[in-house]
Amino acid sequence: MGDTHPERRVVRVAEAAFGPYAMEGPLQKDISWLPISYDATSGQGSYLMRMEPGAESFSHEHAGFEEFLILEGTLTDDDGTVFRAGDFVSYRGGTHNSRTETGCLIAVFEWRPPAA
């Protein structure tokens, strides 16, 4: 049975096909992603990111907020802080990078507040 609500999108994560990830430059073979509402033109929206054990993101800058929820595994930020499943992290614009020893699945939300 299909979804009957035309404005709703349901993603069954366990069945979803994640694609190659290259948002911070070159393709990173140990990171994959699944865009949900992410718009590359505006740099805003949500996506799921899967990082394999040992993966590290390139240092990257965000013009607005980057927020993420750790769904599985652990993620270590560049200052050594370890985030675990269930942690919700909110960054204002700025630069950082992260790595994972265990591998992880995170839900990422990038957005900018309305102009005042």
Bridge partners (DSSP) of residue 73 are 104
Distance separating alpha carbons of residues 71 and 105, to the nearest angstrom: 5
| 106 phi/psi in degrees, rounded to 5 | -130, 150
Question: What confidence category does residue 36 fall into, taking pLDDT thresholds of 50, 70 and 90?
Answer: very high
The phi-psi region of residue 80 (left if phi > 0; otherwise alpha if psi is between -120 and 50; otherwise beta) is left
Give the model confidence (pLDDT) of 45-98 as tens digits: 999 999 999 999 887 777 789 999 999 999 999 999 999 999 999 988 777 789
The phi-psi region of residue 79 (left if phi > 0; otherwise alpha if psi is between -120 and 50; otherwise beta) is alpha
